[in-house]
Structure 1
Amino acid sequence: MSKYILGIDQSTQGTKAIIFNEQGKIIARDDLSHKQIINELGWVEHDPLEIKENVVKVVKNVVNKAEIDKDSIIGVGISNQRETALMWDKKTGKPLYNAIVWQCSRGKKICERIESLGLQNEIKEKTGLHLSPYFSAAKLAWLIENVEGIKEKVNKNEVCCGNIDSWLIYNLTDEKIFKTDYSNASRTQLFNINTLSWDDDICKIFGLHTFNLPKVCNSNSIYGYTDFNGFLDKKIPINAVMGDSHAALYGQFCHNKGDIKSTYGTGSSIMMNIGEQPIYSKSGLVTSIAWGINNKVEYVLEGNINYTGAVITWLKDNLQLINNPKETAILAENANPKDKSYLVPAFTGLGAPYWNSEVNAIITGMTRVTGKNEIVRAGLDSIAYQIADIVNLMKSESGLQIKSLKVDGGPTKNNYLMQFQSDILNIKVEVSSVEELSACGVAYMAGIALGLYDLKLLNNTIKYQNYVSKLNENEISELYKGWKNAVKQTLYNVKI
């Protein structure tokens, strides 16, 4: 009987399940979206029960699509949207509130209060993360301070606090196992990346205790066994867990020091593998754990951007300039080349390397002849500029040469965007033929742990379309200078 691996990617917009064969190739995929709960303040939530139910549904659907024997699936890997935090009752297993999504900045005042106490440097030195409502800790603190009864339950050790990975592991295992992996733990702003443990002092700053948090394991551990609520005839091991961006880094085979990738999703994560020793950024990047494999931890430099693919959604749903994301490439290519419009998409503030949650989005540089094409182009360009900010910083702070950028995600299908990304960085951009890199990463890791895959042979499963820069250095410098001026206008509200 052939053997298969199941990869699950629980992301911001939805959940996908993918079946991989013995060669590591995708044979079937199924997706389900879930509701985005957004209020008038722009706060973003997800229903954790809907997410749990959707995971089981997509597994059932993809197995039926693949038309394989359920007994031939030997293991599963799970990747998840990171920093999205929730709490649930240890006795009942029921959520105490909706999951607060990574995009949500409701913890801003909590972070400001902590900064006023002068604690931000201690937090950065221990966790590798700039103090920000972006990460899980401030979200959990908000729940403690604003939802009736939670503080008492937290202090009595009656609550599980975790991210989506822990929630899914808990619900997929009959034993209600409460675990996470190193990559997810490192994104909570509660985990000491030097001691590789939950930090008592940091937890207290945010009103938590280490006993509220999951056990941290190697990314390729066996987290437990699941039959997906009785769907499978026998239980299979959950044999890999990683945050989605880390899983994509692994799936892109960025396993060597200096390898770099960018995932284009709702937001974007740009990651550079920096090896077995952390490098601490002085300019707005964060240091996280790539993964833990067989008790060896590797680190990454990372920059996170709130709005990349979501800019295209904004052009479509809010401005109604396009009917389909595919239209953007044609419109951008037909824009007036002399137009100097820039969009800075700070709809919920700016992430790395600026870390300013107060600013608002702007369009600058428009003239009387600026129209639909030019605004669409500015939207696409803003994605590439934001990623260039991060890549350029990584190069300077790591001291490592960057010869190419591996990319994945839906927006990488946009030829204009990928060419401009290569143009503005002046390096090769390698677009993966496989877009499901997060699911690939955990499926590959699980398959290797189970003895089904050989890492060297897997490297042949993904092909790349390459883009190289067509601009000279003066053109690149002039364009990038315009972007930096637009960002300054956003940050300082002054005319440049």
Structure 2
Amino acid sequence: MPKMKNPFDMSEIHDNLEEEYIPQIDMYAYRSRDGRRSIIQAEENREDNLNERFIGAIDQGTTSSRFIIFDCTGNPIAKYQLEFRQIHERSGLHEQDPLELVDSVYVCIEEAMKSFLALGHSKSDIEAVGITSQRETALVWDWETGEPLYNAIAWPDTRTTNLVREFRNKKGADDLVNICGLPLSTYPSSCTLVWLLQNVPAVQQAYEEGRLAFGTVDSWLIYNLNGGAEFQRHVTDVTNASRTQFMNLHTLEYDDRLFDFFGIDKNKIKLPKIVPSSDPTEFGNIYTGPLDGVPITSCLGDQSSALVGHCAFKAGTAKNTYGTGCFLLYNVGEKPVVSKHGLLGTIGFQMGKERRPVYALEGSVAVAGSGISFLMNNLGFFRDSRKVGEVAASVPDNGGCYFVTAFSGLFAPYWIDDARGTIFGITQHTQRGHIARATFEAACYQTKAILDAMEMDSGHKLAELAVDGGMSNSDICMQTQADQIQIPVERPAMHETTALGAAIAAGFAVGIWKDFDELKDMNRANRTIFTPKLSPAESKKAYKKWSKAVEMARGWLNGDAD
């Protein structure tokens, strides 16, 4: 039998593991250096056997889905990842096939389970499954048949730019942020739903006939994983609901004032029930496949899940995820903070009905890892993101280049929707390395702007920043980040922080953990800490040039549509 290509490689996570190919089942397992087939556990002899208890985590992101099985010490035991199509019919549009989203999750579960079973485990060893997913991406489907009525419109999509401008001039626009924590922008799901009602006849008809179901990716997945139209489980959690611009940030319930503002009759729409992020029964059970019958016990938006994965349970802690975009969440405690400096008020997490919700301030950067993808796909910068990092390291600095990666405007704290991507400072001496470095730096400068705003909103300066996501693997990017924000940047050795957060929340629901203090050592070993190397004066000078570049990129569209 020819040897298959390993669909996942854990060597980056566990340097003390050797791959073992099992030809009888055409799968990979892992063997520790001392010969035992399994994953080495950090705490093998714990009396509570956390290394023998397992939780699955569905991590459905903007460009790919994955399923990871963790033991309850936080080690990933098996995983599988699958990319799915991104649909860009023209500039500013970003769609996904709803059925592909669901199918990709099932494929990941099936393949990861093959690996899990090959290690000698069984389905019954998995106590629960958690879900984390991209947030503002909006979906609509027929409540009676379960069939999608349009493609999923992803969160980076900017087709609602003109709608947003209209709503900003409407009476009551300034009150929205005090109710839901979100300013008017193309980012939340609200304007996307309005656009669908105005432009898609099938959606209009379903709305008028009371057959229209609306939700974000989490509720669409839960609906389908629970058997779809046959059982009609329609639920979301507080973190995802807080991104729609329909939920009151204070009451955690849908607010009629918000629906009235957008001209939507909520009685004509099937809306998902809003529940805490961790619950033993509300999210139902997986209906079919290798995990048939296993309970789903958590649901979190991806950025909130990363906050949980970093165990940032105390007010004053923060994390930054460098994924397709860049998302910084700052735990502000049990009372919401409405930003005065361009940030978003959101829900961090709610670990069960008996616990109060924990709120966060968020700063969102539209382009982070997608900037690196742009270099690879559009400008021919290799086909491997690690190579982009290598070419960035081939030059000592950015050579005077500043890349304002405003492919769809700038998000927090600027909220400039008429800016477009612009590179300043190009000379005849500019090399690919300078542009690559400037692309990494763009996410770091915007993170700096967000942290400055958070300090003004909270009155406190962050002591350190925990990081995760694909771009955080770049040492040059993380060193630049530390230089810009002038505080240490901490990168965990195990990078699957978002999925880990879903697993932690699922574990709370089934009683594996009962108190946050039990998790204080989770994923803390072997962290890499980047400390500032630039002087404060040098850092300030570089940031001043970035700020000038942002101002020069402003107004590129002159208020016109694309």
State how far apart, in whole Å, the 1-side matches of 2:162 and 2:472 are.
Answer: 36
1:188 pairs with 2:241: no
Q: Which has the higher contact order (CA 8 A, sep 6+)?
A: 1
2:521 aligns with: 460
How much has 1:126 moved relative to structure 2? Answer: 0.8
Relative to structure 1, is the Cα distance of residues 22 and 195 closer, same or farther in structure 2, using a 3 angstrom cutoff? Answer: closer
TM-score of the superposition, structure 2-length normalised?
Answer: 0.85
Q: How does 1:191-206 map to 2 (within 5 A)?
A: 191-206=247-262
Q: For 1:477 and 1:202, locate their aligned partners in 2 and report how far apart those are by CA, in whole Å.
A: 41
Q: Give the equivalent residue in structure 2 for 1:243.
A: 301
- CA deviation after TM superposition for structure 1 residue 493, in Å: 5.9
Pair 1:77 & 2:135 matched: no
2:351 and 2:508 in contact (8 A); partners too? no
> Residue 116 of structure 1 aligns with which residue?
169
The Cα shift of 1:327 comes to 2.1
1:143 equivalent in alignment to 2:206: no
1:24–1:334: structure 2 CA closer, same or farther, 3 Å change rule?
closer
Greater than 3 Å deviation, 4+ residue runs: 453-459
SS at match of 2:288: coil
Mapped contact 2:343–2:450 kept (Cα < 8 A): yes
Does residue 290 of structure 1 match 2:343?
Answer: no
- Hey, what's the Cα distance between the residues in 2 that align with 1:269 and 1:490? 22
Cα deviation for residue 167 of structure 1 reads 0.4
Q: Give the aligned partner of residue 486 of structure 1.
A: 549
Structure 1 residue 119: Cα displacement: 3.0
- The verdict on how the C-alpha distance between 1:278 and 1:227 changes in structure 2, with shifts beyond 3 A counting, is closer
1:343 is aligned, of 382, 403, 408, to 403
1:449-493, Cα deviation, whole Å (9 max, x unpaired): 212246434433313210000111110111110100110101156
Counterpart of 2:288 in structure 1 is 229
Counterpart contact for 2:381–2:388, Cα < 8 Å: no
Alignment of 1:59-98 (within 5 A): 59-67=109-117, 68-98=121-151
Contact in 2 for aligned 1:225/1:235 (Cα 8 Å): no
Letter in 1 for 2:163: I
- The residue matched to 2:350 in structure 1 has which SS? strand
Q: Where do 1:377-392 residues align within 5 Å?
A: 377-392=437-452
Q: Deviation at 1:61? A: 0.9
1:104 to 2:157 alignment: yes
Indicate conservation of the 8 Å contact 1:198/1:210, yes or no: no
More deviation in 331-340 or 164-173? 331-340
1:28 to 69, 73, 78: 78
Q: Deviations over 1:362-389 (max 9, x none)?
A: 1111222112111111111111111111
Rounded to whole Å, the distance in 2 between the matches of 1:69 and 1:11 is 27
State the Cα deviation string for residues 407-458 of structure 1 (Å, max 9, x = none).
0011111010000100011000001212211110010111122122464344
**Aligned to 1:361, which of 421, 440, 445?**
421
On the 8 A contact 1:350/1:359 being kept in 2, the answer is yes
**What are the equivalent positions in structure 2 for 1:323-334 lying under 5 Å apart?**
323-334=383-394
* Cα contact 1:423–1:471 (8 A) shared by 2: yes
Q: Which amino acid aligns with 2:490?
A: E
Name the aligned partner's letter for residue 362 of structure 2: E
SS in structure 1 of the partner of residue 55 of structure 2: strand
Deviation at 1:338, TM superposition (A): 7.5
TM-score (norm. length: structure 1): 0.96
In structure 1, how many angstroms separate the alpha carbons of the residues matched to 2:397 and 2:468? 27
Q: Which moved more, 1:5-14 or 1:203-212?
A: 203-212
Matched, 1:164 2:224: no
Q: The residue matched to 1:27 in structure 2 has which SS?
A: strand
Alignment match, 2:10 = none
State the partner residue of 1:16: 66
CA distance 1:63–1:259, shift in 2 (3 Å): same
Q: Deviations over 1:178-232 (max 9, x none)?
A: 0000000000011111222111121133243334211100111233432342433
SS at match of 1:92: coil
2:110/2:289 contact within 8 Å kept: no
Q: In structure 1, what is the Cα distance between the partners aligned to 2:438 and 2:72?
A: 44
**How far apart are residue 237 of structure 1 and its match?**
1.4
Q: Contact conserved, 1:24 with 1:453, CA < 8 A, in 2? A: no
Supply the AA of the counterpart residue of 1:456: D
Asked if 1:219 is matched to 2:277, the reply is: yes
Query: 1:95 is matched by which residue type in structure 2?
Result: P
CA shift in 2, pair 1:338/1:135, >3 Å: closer
For residue 225 of structure 1, give the secondary structure of its aligned residue in structure 2: coil
Which region of structure 1 is more displaced relative to structure 2, 207-216 or 137-146? 207-216
Q: What does 1:309-320 correspond to in 2, within 5 Å?
A: 309-320=369-380
- Residue identity in the other structure for 1:475: E
More displaced 10-residue stretch of structure 1: 374-383 or 478-487: 374-383
Local SS of the residue matching 2:284: strand
Letter in 1 for 2:511: G
Moved more, 451-460 or 44-53: 451-460
Q: Does 1:435 align with 2:498?
A: no
Kindly indicate whether the alpha-carbon contact (under 8 Å) linking 1:227 and 1:236 is maintained by their aligned counterparts in 2. Answer: yes
- Distance verdict in 2 for CA 1:127–1:6, change over 3 Å: same
Q: Distance in 1 between matches of 2:273 and 2:72?
A: 31
CA distance in 2, matches of 1:287, 1:372: 38
Relative distance call for 1:444 and 1:228 in structure 2 (3 A) is: same
Residue identity (%): 34
Indicate if the aligned counterparts of 1:25 and 1:461 stay in contact, CA closer than 8 A: no
Per-residue deviation, residues 316-370 of structure 1 (Å, max 9, x unmatched): 1111133321123332233254821100000111111111222111111122211
Give yes or no for the alignment of 1:281 onto 2:339.
yes
Instruction: Pick closer, same or farther for the CA change 1:338–1:74 going to 2, 3 Å.
Output: closer
Task: Report the counterpart of residue 320 of structure 2 in structure 1.
Answer: 262
Cα distance in 2 for partners of 1:363, 1:9 equals 34
Contact 2:116 2:122 in 1 (8 A): no
User: How far apart are the structure 2 equivalents of 1:273 and 1:493?
Assistant: 35
Which whole-Å CA distance do the structure 2 matches of 1:432 and 1:140 have between them?
Answer: 38
Deviation at 1:248, TM superposition (A): 0.3
Equivalent residue of 1:153, what SS?
A: helix
| 8 Å Cα contact 2:141-2:213 kept in structure 1 | yes
Give 1:307 shift.
Answer: 0.4
Distance change (3 Å), C-alpha of 1:66 and 1:106? same
Q: Do the aligned partners of 1:262 and 1:268 also contact (CA within 8 Å) in 2?
A: yes
SS in 1 for 2:490: strand
Contact 2:397 2:437 in 1 (8 A): no
